[in-house]
Amino acid sequence: MTVIRHSAATHVGRVRKINEDAILALPEHRIWVVADGMGGHEAGDFASQTVTASVAALPPGLGPGEMMAALRRAILDAHAQILAEAARRGRGPIGATVVALILANDHFAAFWAGDSRLYSYRERHLDMLTADHSMVAELVAGGTVTWEEAELMPHANVITRAVGVGEALELDKIRGEVRPGDRFLLCTDGLTKHVGPRELAEVLDREPMETVAEALISRALKAGGTDNVSAIVVDIL
């Protein structure tokens, strides 16, 4: 792998007063993370920031396999911390979705829970690499509705898995090869509920690294910005 560049941005949106999203870029570790908190004021933001803070504490100098295992442990540690805090507060569940990308030796791996997503853009083709843990995702997987239709459904924001929710956290994982020219997008549902695959591909195709994350967020804001919105774009050169 040669050069890696990234662009990251987050915005509170046009409706909410608190940004419960958290983003993290660790290019020296070749790790990028997006988390979307839930649980209300001073809870959702705590959860998402606990996820990113746990990953940010990873030690340097680990080999690729060790770093991947450490990344997974960091997310599981955040799960335990959030569970403990929710029990202390006694006000119901606190949680956060997460998607984390790690690059090593011309390969990528990603862990996720919830409906924050990872996309790849290669040779002008957009692929959604993660599968949402949500009620509507099952309908999409069954071919009942498209993602564009699913985003408009009443329970589109109900997720079935999150960091800090439930006794044990099951993280899904995907691995694959990377090539020069590949572009990855990590994002919260505040982006994808307003910007469909065609628009995502259009922005990823035309925008340079210096402006791509902000351009994606701008699209979501222009379409209503009803949620916090976050995006990280990673380029393989």
Q: What is the pLDDT along the chain (237 residues), one digit of tens a residue?
A: 568 999 999 999 999 999 999 999 999 999 999 999 997 767 999 999 999 999 999 999 999 999 999 999 999 999 999 999 999 999 889 999 999 999 998 999 999 999 999 999 999 999 999 999 987 777 777 788 886 777 677 766 688 999 999 999 999 999 999 999 999 999 999 999 899 999 999 999 999 999 999 999 999 999 999 999 999 999 999
Backbone angles phi, psi at 157, to 5 degrees: -100, 5
Per-domain boundaries in the chain: 4-236
What long-range pairs does 79-82 form, CB within 8 A, spacing at least 24?
79/163, 79/164, 79/169, 81/50, 81/54, 82/46, 82/47, 82/50, 82/163, 82/164
Identity at 184, one-letter amino acid code: F
Exposed (0-12), middle (13-18) or buried (19+): which is 99, by Cβ within 10 Å?
Answer: buried
Q: Where are the beta strands (DSSP E) in the chain?
A: 4-11, 21-26, 31-38, 95-104, 107-113, 117-122, 125-128, 172-177, 183-187, 229-236
Q: What is the DSSP letter of 146?
A: -
Q: Write phi, then psi, for 111 (nearest 5 degrees).
A: -115, 145
Report the alpha-carbon distance of residue 222 to residue 193 in Å, rounded.
12
Residue 87 — left, alpha, or beta (φ > 0 → left; ψ -120 to 50 → alpha)? alpha
> What are the two backbone dihedrals, phi and then psi, of residue 52, each rounded to the nearest 5 degrees?
-70, -35
φ and ψ at residue 227, rounded to 5 degrees: -140, 165
Its pTM stands at 0.93
Provide CATH code, domain 4-236.
3.60.40.10
